[in-house]
Structures are given as C-alpha cells and as structure tokens.
Structure 1
C-alpha cells in the first residue's frame, strides 16, 4: 500500500493548553508560532531507520484493526512482525494480563550461598504455572497449595527480549489502532529486571518492550490507509516522593493530577510533544531518562528511586468520513519494592525507600479493593494509583510484567511479588473504543434506524390487513383446551 503521509507536525508544549493540530499538506513546510517550535513535515510519510527489525504491517490487515471488532494479532516470526486476525494472547480480554519473568542468580546472590541446592522456583512445561520448590516451602513455612501460581505466561530464564515483547506489547499495537487505551506495567523487587524488560539496550537485540512497541506503532502508521491522518503525542514523568516531576522539563517538579469527563485523568502543565518518528520518541525517552532519580544500593548499583510513567497518545482522523479515534498507551516502570535491611539505605535513600514502599502499598490496597468487591477503591491514596485509575479497573487493556529472581536470599520478596501478580490477575477492566463519529455517520445511523422502523411498521400493517392472529403462549394453551373439550363433546354425541 501507499505510505501514509498524514502526520500532523511537531509541537513542543510546556503547558496543559495544546495548540490546534494543523492538517498535513502535500508540500514540505516549516511553520512557526509563538510558544512552540515545529519540524519539517515529511513528504512521503515517516522515514524509519534502515533494517526494520520487526518487518511491516500490511495495509489490509491494519485496516481490519482500525475497525471495531476482534483485534488483529501481531505475531513474531524470525524477528519480524506481521498481522493476523486472531489473538492468542487475549484470552483474558476484560482482565489484567499477567506475565512473570525470572532472572538467573547474579554474582552477589551466588556469593551469599544458599541453604537450598538449586533454584527456588520450578517452572511447569506449559509456561503458565510455577511452584516454589519443596525446600523453599519448608524455609518459608508455606503449604504446597499456596506455593503454586498460574499466570497468563511465565518466561523461562532463557527468554529473550523479543520473547517478552511477543507476550506483552505486540498485541497492543492493533488494539491501539482500534481505539483502545493500553497499559504495560513492570512490578517487582529492586534489581530483578523491570527496567531491563521495559527498556533494555536500545538499538540492539536486547532492546525492551518500549522501543519495540514504539517502532511497531510507527510502522503501522506508515502502512495505514492514506485517508487517515495521525497525530502522536508523548509525555514523560516520574513520581518521586509523592511528587510528579516532568522529565522533559525538570523545573516542573510538582505537577497536579486533574480529572474531567472529557479528558479523563490527565496531568496539568506537563510537557507534551508531537512526534513523527520512532527515533524522535526514543530521543525524548533518552533525554527524560537522564533526569530520573537513581541511586546505588546494596541490591542494585543503579536503583530507580522513582516510578516512571511514559504516555503516548495516538489520534486518528478519517479525511473523508470525519470520524476520529483517540487512544493512549501508558508504559510504567515501577520503582522496586525494597527491604531496608537488605538495601543498606540511609539518609536520603532511606527516605526514598520509605516513599517507594508507601506508594507500592497503596497500589496493593487498590488491587485488594478491586478484587474483593469493596465499594470504595482508594485511588486517591497516592499519586501513582490515581494516575493509574484507568489502567486498573477502568478503561484500559492492561498487561502486568512481574519480575523475580531464583535466588534463595530473595525468596520472600519473590513470594510477595507472585502474590501481587495473583491478585492483579483477578482485576476486571472495562476497556472501550474511544471513538467520535462524524455528523454524517450519525445521520447515516439515524437513517438506518428509521428504515428498520418503517420495515417493522409495514410488517405490522400487513399482518393487520390479512387479519393474521398470532396467539401468545397463554392464549395458545386455552385454545388447545377448548379444542379438546369440543372433541370430547363430539365423541359423547
């Protein structure tokens, strides 16, 4: 298919008020306006870097994805991405999809030795179930029933970054184009591979879920119907000690969360940037990543001291029909849960650890309320849970990556993480297509409804004219009784 050139230009905004999105033109132009800068519009769509690692998305298949219905599936074959109409990873459509990833023991864990010979986790061949070893059960004093867990997928320690993307992000690409909000969260003990799974090493075979899903989105735009205009807008924040900091404009370090019927949950005053290529997105993430709060602890040489939240908004508008869809992708790298006694935290790092554990505790309370039938869900107990209120129990398709280690030294933390994942798997979300139909489409629907009414009226009139009588269930029974009585009378006569 013809490459899509329907991208609105780039704007850089440092307030919650966004500029109007101009329509794309056939000529390459650079526009300037007070308050933002813009980049040159591409003439022939988005130029991706050479050697596409994930292949392309066929226009016909993407067209199916843009219609409301069963989401197409992006399947991974020989490191390529293609689209098909099924979705094997979406068996838990209304619920939170939970996958578990365990890393092998690192050098520090090996040095500490173990009272247990071998790994504490046993993975079953179906890649869906796991259990703590008999030795680990004895050490933690738990029964075999409580030591078993089942998730939507469990990765072996040999799993590649591509394997992780295949089970988490790839199915969300067509869902975004359908108009669904999507969220991917990484949760686990500090140092167990959350940031590795989400980011990895960009530009290599070890890049994580985020760069892979971003590139797949822009491939989808490039191969979409030329009659559809797209706008991609990104923002990047961290939640540090219960304050929201703009990672693209660090001076904005105490942003407020707002909520409205029209916009849902949003961050007031955050920098929002329109982008036209996956490379621009990765550059922005690199800039923001340098502004994240990190520190060295006994558990992790580069421990994230904050929760990072990257938000990508995808807007589509059909040039002919005038209808539009808007969807949001939220990518969350949670700070690791910590035991202060193990991390050696003191001073500022101790304060950070307490803040991290407090917000993660609030997250656990929200999940408990959602899965226990509680009438009150305490979203407002922390900035993190309020920002994720759509992702957990609301209008979103959500995938949770839980990470752990095979090491005996951390088995209690790993058990806690597995229990967290088990509870999260019970959450029922209410995802919906975020679509606005044009006036013409509403008129067409109205005309269709009126035509159906006319057909029904004609049928009623025809029945009345033919004096047709359709007895209801009760009348039919009485009629049968009368007929039987008449038959008896005839027999007596």
Structure 2
C-alpha cells in the first residue's frame, strides 16, 4: 500500500532589509517578527509610507499573522535570529529532498512583489547561493552516497525549465520549441506540457549550466518598480527516477518523484507600478494566476483551469505533493499596501490541503494503461468497436461521428478527427515512456548543441571559461547587455 502524507502546504515568510532606494526615501521599517508571528505596524501619519498606503493604514492598528516560520533577514547577519540562505535551505530544501528521495512529489514556490527578495531566496547572488542551487548540489551528493551504500540502486535525473508569460508556455531549454506549447491533461499523467524537453543531467555543474542558459532565454521587461524585473513565472522541474534491483526476488522496483522549483512573477498591483498597455496586460495575467491560487479554500478545490500556472501545478496545490511557499516581503513603510497584500495572500494559502502519495512503479503502471488505451483508440479509429455508420472516404474525418462506450459506462460521441488526435497524443506519450537512457542522452546532446548555437548567434558566449559577449555570427547585429549588482 502506498504511503500517504496529508496536510496543509507549508507557508513561510521572509523579510529582507531596507534597500538603498527605500533608505534614500527615508523609509521606516514596519515589520516585526516574534517566533512564528509576523507583525505589520501601520505607517506613521504624514510619512511617505502613510501616503503610499492610501487610506487603509488609517486603521492605525498592527496586523498579526502566524505562519509555519517567520524568517527575519532584515537586520545584521550576526544577529542570533538572522535567517541566512543556509537556514532557509536547512529548513525547506533538506525536507524537499527527503520527500523526493522517498518517492513523493515536492514543490517550493516563491511569492511576493517585485524586488521583495524572491529571486534572492530562490537563486541567490554569486557565492550567496539560494535554495535552488543548494538543493540541486545536495541532490547529487545524496545520489552518490546512496549508490555507495547500495550497489543495486540506480538514479537518473532529468530537468525541464519553462516560462509562463501572458498565459503562454515557453520551453527555455530547447530553442527549436519556439512559441506557445500546448498544455494537455491525461487521465493517468495529469496535466503536462506537450513536446516539452526533458534533458538528462549527470552533475550539479551540468544542471546549473542548463539553468543559467535557460535564464538567459527568459523574457525580461522593465517596470517602474524594478527595471530588471521579470514579468513571467519560471518553473524549473527535476524528475528523479530511482530504480532498485532486488537480488533475492530478481525484481526491479521504481520510484519517480517530480521536484518543482517555482519563481512566481511579481505580485504588485497595477496602480502601484504605473503600468499601461502591454505592461498592464502582463500584470493582469500574473494576477490571474496568483488570484486563482488564492481562491482555494480549506474544503474546496483550487479552480486550476482558471490559469495555466495553477493547471500545471495542480499536484503541488491541493494534490499529490509536499509543498512549501516562501512569501517574500519588504519592511518599508512605502511598501505597506504590497506587504499587507502578500501577508494576506500567504495566510490564505495556508488553507490549501495536499494529499501526497509515494509514486511506486509509476512508469510500469503508465505503460500498461497507455498500452490498453492505444489498443482501444486504434480499434475505434478503424471502426471495429463502434456503432459507426459506413462513410464515404471522401468525407473529412472532422465530419465523421464515432459513438462508443467509455470506461465509466457512459456513451460518448466524438468526431473521427478528435479520435485520431487522441491516438497521436497517446502514441507520443508512449514513445517518451519507452525511450531508453541512451536515447535520452543522445537527445539531450542534440538539444544542447542547438541551444548553444542559438545563444552564439545572439552573441552570448556559453563556454565556461569564456563567459561574455563576442561578435555575433550574423552581421549586422547589436547586443546590449546590462548587468545589475545586488
């Protein structure tokens, strides 16, 4: 019997220090933390913070919130209660890996307004690594340790990296996959991105290089809040497959876990950014994803189909996953409204319940189910199991109706074209599941060459010892790279 792990998603809040812009505006800190409590004080009357709060702060009372953890990173690093990158990893990253190696799906989401420290918590800067690189590094350390203890165990790691921008999904690791990829839902697999690259990685360095190249491909647009802000959600997914051969029984067992690391787009409201036109549309789509996420009540389902983000993260938000959310906030009085909005949102997210199950031998089950489905679909397309009338072959498939009895006993009528599309989709999925490790490696290498070629043509060097800009392959060409330092 599969093991269960039921419970609410884990929600933590992290407060960053005042930044130079806020200090220059004479901003005061409004956030206090006591144990797991985060307390937001109202701005003082007459300050820039009170003006920014546009009336709501006239309630003049502190707002108290309790989370699984309240992390104070706003003071000096030598403070006893200071939360470092390592503290965050020790509390969240280690647990994420424990779940992953046990066969559970796991997910960490970072939420908050632009400039609140989300990307710092998730990626970090330079030597100050965030939760993603620290987790990825430890993943390979654990793989080596487990292999050394048990010679009959084998691990494979595959990664995918997508960007969701204005409700469109883009593959960040394969330059051939341009434009919007389709999101589909399969009865056994659940929601997935069709044709998304899953690339094999054998080391931490390989994984970080992929992430770095993916980041270079992300859509970046300026807002009044932060000129280097990304207006898209980024989802980096690790697929960890553990196969063990039992010598005594001569049987192979398999566990597969999906580890999703999600950097959500900035949650700021349109009126605080001065956004118009395209920027406003981006903001509306970001908020559509985030408000959908916030609609989930304790006893109700999150309305997943309302946005691409929540649809793809269906397992992570109220489904089969161990999930943690990091809500990042600024302590500045000028950010009072945004901070209050983030804290209320995080408070709502505490109500989402997940029911995680260990994914034992999922590929064997999926192969069996897909095989049955393919046989059934092939029979239906050929007309041998249906009450379909004999049609003139000149009539297009989209105008031919097929009636059949579904697994649940209901009678369904679809067009032959729809059946053919279903068949093609299932054949594609079956092909992916039957792919050998050697074939996966070969495909990864082909995509790697394509990606490097695409970056080289943009004038971005991908060689490890030669990072930077050179003359692009196709002339004339202008490259403008702006570097920002934290």
Task: Determine the structure 2 residue equivalent to 1:463.
Answer: none
Task: Determine the structure 2 residue equivalent to 1:85.
Answer: none
Residue 129 (structure 1) aligned with residue 42 (structure 2): no
The partner residue of 2:145 within 223, 227, 247 is 223
Conserved? CA contact 1:234–1:310, under 8 Å: yes
Residue 172 (structure 1) aligned with residue 102 (structure 2): no
Task: Determine the structure 2 residue equivalent to 1:119.
Answer: 29
The partner residue of 2:319 within 375, 384, 394 is 394
Task: Determine the structure 2 residue equivalent to 1:197.
Answer: 121
Conserved? CA contact 2:156–2:242, under 8 Å: yes
Task: Determine the structure 1 residue equivalent to 2:10.
Answer: 97
Residue 208 (structure 1) aligned with residue 130 (structure 2): yes
Task: Determine the structure 1 residue equivalent to 2:272.
Answer: 342
Residue 280 (structure 1) aligned with residue 206 (structure 2): yes
Residue 312 (structure 1) aligned with residue 250 (structure 2): no
Cα deviation, residue 438, structure 1: 12
Task: Determine the structure 1 residue equivalent to 2:171.
Answer: 246
The partner residue of 2:57 within 137, 140, 148 is 140
Cα deviation, residue 351, structure 1: 2.6
Cα deviation, residue 437, structure 1: 9.0
**Can you list the C-alpha shifts for 1:18-55, whole angstroms capped at 9, x where unaligned?**
xxxxxxxxxxxxxxxxxxxxxxxxxxxxxxxxxxxxxx
Conserved? CA contact 1:241–1:356, under 8 Å: yes
**Can you list the C-alpha shifts for 1:78-127, whole angstroms capped at 9, x where unaligned?**
xxxxxxxxxxxxxx96211111111111122223335xxx4111111x2x
Cα deviation, residue 172, structure 1: 1.4
Q: Separation in 1 of the partners of 2:20 and 2:212?
A: 28
Q: Separation in 1 of the partners of 2:362 and 2:190?
A: 19
Q: Separation in 2 of the partners of 1:108 and 1:391?
A: 36
Conserved? CA contact 1:323–1:437, under 8 Å: no
Q: Separation in 2 of the partners of 1:94 and 1:342?
A: 35
Task: Determine the structure 1 residue equivalent to 2:86.
Answer: 162
- Which SS does the other structure have where 1:248 is aligned? coil
Cα distance change on mapping 1:226 and 1:143 into 2, 3 Å: farther
Task: Determine the structure 2 residue equivalent to 1:422.
Answer: 347
Conserved? CA contact 1:322–1:437, under 8 Å: no
Conserved? CA contact 1:235–1:310, under 8 Å: yes
Cα deviation, residue 151, structure 1: 0.6
Cα deviation, residue 304, structure 1: 0.8
Cα deviation, residue 68, structure 1: 8.1
Conserved? CA contact 1:323–1:438, under 8 Å: no
**Looking at CA atoms only, which structure, 1 or 2, has the larger radius of gyration?**
1
Q: Separation in 1 of the partners of 2:363 and 2:166?
A: 44
Cα deviation, residue 388, structure 1: 1.0
Q: Separation in 1 of the partners of 2:97 and 2:153?
A: 17
Q: Separation in 1 of the partners of 2:12 and 2:98?
A: 20
Cα distance change on mapping 1:68 and 1:303 into 2, 3 Å: same
Mapping for residues 288-367 of structure 1, pairs under 5 Å: 288-320=214-246, 321-365=251-295, 367=296
Q: Separation in 2 of the partners of 1:431 and 1:298?
A: 40
Conserved? CA contact 2:11–2:349, under 8 Å: yes
- Which SS does the other structure have where 1:429 is aligned? strand
Q: Separation in 2 of the partners of 1:363 and 1:297?
A: 23
- Ranges in structure 1 where 5+ consecutive residues have no aligned partner: 1-66, 71-91, 440-493
Q: Separation in 2 of the partners of 1:328 and 1:108?
A: 39
- Which SS does the other structure have where 1:322 is aligned? strand
Task: Determine the structure 2 residue equivalent to 1:473.
Answer: none
Conserved? CA contact 1:99–1:153, under 8 Å: yes
Residue 106 (structure 1) aligned with residue 28 (structure 2): no
Cα distance change on mapping 1:163 and 1:68 into 2, 3 Å: farther
Cα deviation, residue 425, structure 1: 1.1
Moved over 6 A (4+): 67-70
Task: Determine the structure 1 residue equivalent to 2:183.
Answer: 257
The partner residue of 1:233 within 151, 158, 162 is 158
Conserved? CA contact 1:402–1:417, under 8 Å: yes
Q: Separation in 2 of the partners of 1:305 and 1:437?
A: 35
- Which SS does the other structure have where 1:423 is aligned? helix
Aligned residues: 339
Mapping for residues 80-95 of structure 1, pairs under 5 Å: 94-95=7-8
Please provide the CA RMSD for this pair.
Answer: 2.4
Conserved? CA contact 1:68–1:178, under 8 Å: no
Cα deviation, residue 143, structure 1: 7.4
Task: Determine the structure 1 residue equivalent to 2:307.
Answer: 382
